[in-house]
Chain A
């Protein structure tokens, strides 16, 4: 059961990381608000599902909807919220200004949720068991946990297929071209703001979904569950796996979550210092972020150049460029077929992982 829990949690965070990777990996926007969307999705799923609050507990709505409906509504709320933040932060602000604005947004949201109790019961948070269909299926608690794991993994697979498809679509390439050079992309007629905006909303929807799953998984949610530190773990996982490469991102999350938890589980934690173990884990994550950025910013599974080979010449084996992005900076220009003339996406996606897209 222990492993079922860990893998379920890692699966939920993998869905979250896939969404964040669209915003950061493809569109290149370092978003500090992102974990707030998971929190919002989680809170909304709770208040729509668990019914009216009993005093002194208080929160908004208190609906009694089926959990699937609540999750869809929660995702819609998250996307609507992201639409406001994105409209402010993405229009003219880039790089550090964008990061600062999203940091401000998440701090403000955090403070409001924590201090304004009528919203989500402030610091205590909301809780309630959400187990749709457990009685109908006549499952034990453990059986239900396994079912949840299967559902999470299925959703993760679906999310992966969607992201993978999107990654090679014109939309994915447009985002990368905008990330690499906004002016060039704009000169080719791409709407820079709108493409980034769509990526932002798309990523936020993933966070909303992960939030809903998280609500079912932990059956309680309060502000201490979404401190800014949690988001850095996701960024570390994406950095390790490979920014912009969905497969790498999923692998990164599983390695970081399971690896770190397993590694630090057996560390001695003095009874007088219960915080020692978790703190050490955070230190390791911080170190990992710095070392990855310094020595291998493209991650261990770098983003592959998403060059569309165009219509295949008849009779030849279909081929894909499998050149590692690092080595691909100049020689793929010659190798890439000229069937996609003057495509800025193709031209710039090549440099994708040179600096991890950061430079």
Chain B
């Protein structure tokens, strides 16, 4: 039983990182109607930016996190302006292949700059704490709380600000939002900046949790991110949080009882089950099985 609870605890911090990444992915989908396969690279860029910055900031975790978020934001803006907007009106699959090309470029530019070998941060992980039935490290707790804080921030932003209202309008129908006087292009830009910042931060947190990371960090996290987004229903930010919780717990618990190397295998099985039976997310009462985007 205690093994189970510990894995639930670790699953919670996995789920927290996953939630950040998946919400960003789903926001990108919501405004641009594309699946961004270069999404993982936002995380990688954030992680490497913090890695470069830690020489300057030393042990200042907050500054490193901020660096990661800013780098992710710039990457989000660049991707949207440089690729996504250039492909407006093209089919979703065309844009997907293009973003896959972007992912290839980013990964290999990082190899050229930092080398293919793994790097690691030197931030202290902190001691172990018993919290209720769970066993967590200090940074694990920080991860969970920062994810909750960011999730709360996103909720307030989307629900109570003019920008959030505009984002929701654009995600419903970009053309209609445009003729209603909403500067759709600026809103889409803003959303990509937001998604990039969230992902950059998530990348920093992920890298810090794993310990060592390489240029493949984000891309190998992409499948988990997409699974979480599909579990919640792609394009629905709040449901995605729930989806991330489900995916994070399932892979962590299943991984604990077999081997953690197979986590992605469970993610894939979960993804297949979701795709076949609930392609529009587990929180929709009845979902049509015929998915044609």
Contacts and interface: CB of A to CB of B under 8 A. Distances in A.
B275 A97 contact: yes
A283 B108 contact: yes
Given A94-B291, A232-B100, A289-B101, A104 B111 contact: no
25 contacts: A88-B276, A92-B275, A92-B276, A92-B291, A93-B279, A95-B91, A96-B93, A99-B35, A100-B35, A101-B271, A101-B275, A103-B223, A107-B223, A108-B264, A108-B265, A111-B262, A275-B116, A279-B109, A279-B111, A279-B112, A279-B116, A280-B108, A280-B112, A283-B109, A289-B98
Contacts of B261: 111, 114-115
Contact of A286 (B102, B116, B267, B272): B102
A297 B94 contact: yes
A93 B91 contact: no
A355 B276 contact: no
By DSSP majority rule, is chain B's interface helix, strand, loop, or mixed? helix
A359 B90 contact: yes
B268 interface: yes
By DSSP majority rule, is chain A's interface helix, strand, loop, or mixed? helix
Interface in A5-26: none
A97 B291 CA distance: 8
A165 interface: no
Contact of B97 (A103, A114, A293, A359): A293
Contacts of A235: 97
Interface in B259-293: 259, 261-262, 264-265, 267-269, 271-272, 275-276, 279, 289-293
A119 to B, nearest CB: 13
B227 interface: yes
B182 interface: no
Nearest to A114: B261
B289 to A, nearest CB: 5
Q: Contact size class for B?
A: 35 or more
A294 B98 contact: yes
A100 B97 CA distance: 12
Interface residues of A, number: 46
Given A101-B272, A285-B101, 19 more contacts: A88-B276, A92-B275, A95-B292, A96-B34, A100-B35, A100-B275, A104-B267, A104-B268, A107-B223, A107-B264, A111-B265, A115-B262, A275-B111, A279-B109, A286-B102, A286-B108, A293-B94, A356-B94, A359-B90
B98 A293 contact: yes
Interface string A262-286: 0000000000010110011011011
A275 B107 CA distance: 12
A104 B271 contact: yes
Nearest to A232: B104
B87 interface: yes
A108 B268 contact: yes
Contact of B271 (A100, A358, A359): A100
Contacts of A356: 94
